Amino acid sequence: MHSDHDTCEVNFDGLIGPTHNYSGLSKGNLASQNNALQVANPRDAALQGLDKMTALLDRGFVQGFFPPQQRPRLDLLRKLGFSGSDKKILNGVARTQPSLLSLVYSASSMWAANAATVTASKDTKDGRVHFTPANLLTTPHRAIEHEETTHCLRTLFADEAHFCVHPTLPSIAVFGDEGAANHNRLCQTHGGEGLYVYVYGRESGAPANLQFPARQTRLASEAVARQHGLAKNAVFLPQSATAINAGAFHNDVVAVANESVLFYHQDAFACGLEQLHEAAARQDITLCDIQVANADVSLNDAVQSYLFNCQLLTRPNSTEMLLIAPQECELNPRVNSYLKTLVQDTSNPIADVSFFNLKQSMRNGGGPACLRLRVVMNSAERAACHPAFLLDPAKIEQLRQWVTTYYRDRLCPDDLADPQLLDESYTALEALTAMLGLGSYYHFQR
């Protein structure tokens, strides 16, 4: 048996890939839409992400990462009837259907919060950590991710004595699943029993009062809970249409939880939280409910600054919590003022805020919380992970050198028609797998 004390939350960040660009593919994600067709800097994007990982590692947190997915995905273009050499295919697509280039080049797998939904071993019948990769079927450029995500998870969490990686839910509209971005685990401590909060945007069909897609369905959330064997410890809450229409395409744009703290905007949910409080009380979780009123931070300010897309973390060997926030929170006067008040309020455990420059990822519509998947594990489970995916200072330095060597510092959507970008991307991924000892990890290597 493992004690609660050897259990901690491990953050696995998506390492931003060499084809990071602004194609504006994500309807309802205002930053993605507003920055469409601008020039991106893949090198800065990846280095900014590594800076955040380094900072957490330096502060004593356990930090891992997911490698970038293979881009471009020429196998998809071949399925669509394009044929010939790689160069001929890219030239043909650029000439006849250029919009497909942004689909097969998208680096959106960087948003690891959408990779999967996770249940800790403490809360499962078989005592294993359970994962369900998300089908992400609402957006075509993300719906192509789940096979590679499953491969990544089954490589990283290969030890079936400790881990179970389920198949994705069927790619049917009523089972739209966006992963952990609509999911939180509440608990007294990470090693204690958890209460799982699933947030959904629609029951099954599309509500009439939405301007943007409601990506997560209740049926999908219920199916994941069923897969993971969660009968009692699950609460299902509807996301408010107001939040979705304001650009909260996932619940993690307007709410975040850590241990017993739920930090959320007044307009995050379409119902009161009585059901959640009752469930927490039944599990002896003393819920610390921090609701941010519109009067303090408007919904628009929350969405633009990504106040709730912060990482909320319990400091190692402490009960104090830390918010990892994007610089946009510091630069927004109302949000910054609210955060100063929050950390001075001793009635909650949030004691500090650290601001990070994540401009490249923020402009594509994702902040610190979007970039990571949280996995609660005990020491035996951490030891059973594939070591290539866990970070230490030496490996972070190797990854920095790799990014600096292989990534462009300028990429605009028109560059996706350049066959040289394919060569650069595959060469980079080949070097990454060699460096990590992963063998023929990518499809193009097999």
CA distance 259 to 195: 10
Helix ranges (H only) for 162-234 are 218-227
Q: Is 232 annotated as a binding residue?
A: no
Q: What's the burial of 15, exposed, middle or buried (CB within 10 Å: 0-12/13-18/19+)?
A: buried
List 8, 164, 370, 385, catalytic entry: 370
Q: Is 203 a catalytic residue?
A: no
Asked if residue 204 belongs to a domain, the reply is: yes
Query: By C-alpha distance, which of 405, 411, 394 is closest to 427?
Result: 405
Q: Is 50 annotated as a binding residue?
A: no
Asked if residue 99 belongs to a domain, the reply is: no
Asked if residue 344 belongs to a domain, the reply is: yes
CA distance 292 to 307: 10
Asked if residue 259 belongs to a domain, the reply is: yes
Q: Is 31 annotated as a binding residue?
A: yes
CA distance 361 to 273: 32
**Overall pTM > 0.85:** yes
Q: Is 250 a catalytic residue?
A: yes
Residues of the chain with pLDDT under 50: 1, 24-32, 35
Q: Is 27 annotated as a binding residue?
A: yes
Asked if residue 117 belongs to a domain, the reply is: yes
Instruction: Render pLDDT for 229-254 as a digit per residue (tens, 0 to 9).
Output: 997 899 999 999 999 999 888 999 99
Q: Is 32 annotated as a binding residue?
A: yes
Considering its fold, how many domains does the chain have in total? Answer: 1
140: its two tokens = 């075509």
167: its two tokens = 């198949």
Q: Is 136 annotated as a binding residue?
A: no
Q: Which domain holds residue 125?
A: 4-71+106-445
List 9, 145, 148, 178, catalytic entry: 178
158: its two tokens = 């290969």
List, edge to edge, every strand of the sheet that includes 129-133: 116-119, 129-133, 163-165
Query: For 99, how many CA atoms within 13 A lie in the half-sphere containing its CB?
Result: 4
Query: By C-alpha distance, which of 399, 373, 386, 382 is closest to 438?
Result: 386
List 8, 250, 329, 381, catalytic entry: 250
pLDDT at 365: 72
Beta-strand relationship, 372-377 and 8-14: antiparallel
Q: Is 87 annotated as a binding residue?
A: no
Q: Is 397 a catalytic residue?
A: no
Asked if residue 391 belongs to a domain, the reply is: yes
125: its two tokens = 């019948």
pLDDT at 31: 44
pLDDT at 30: 44
H or E, element range at 281: helix 274-282
Asked if residue 98 belongs to a domain, the reply is: no
Can you give the CATH number for the domain in which 184 is found?
3.75.10.20
Sign of the CA dihedral running 376, 379, 383, 389: positive
Cis, peptide link before residue 72, omega less than 30° from 0:
yes
Asked if residue 82 belongs to a domain, the reply is: no
What's the distance, Cα to Cα, between the start and end of the chain in Å? 40
In a 3-state reduction of DSSP, which class is residue 226? helix
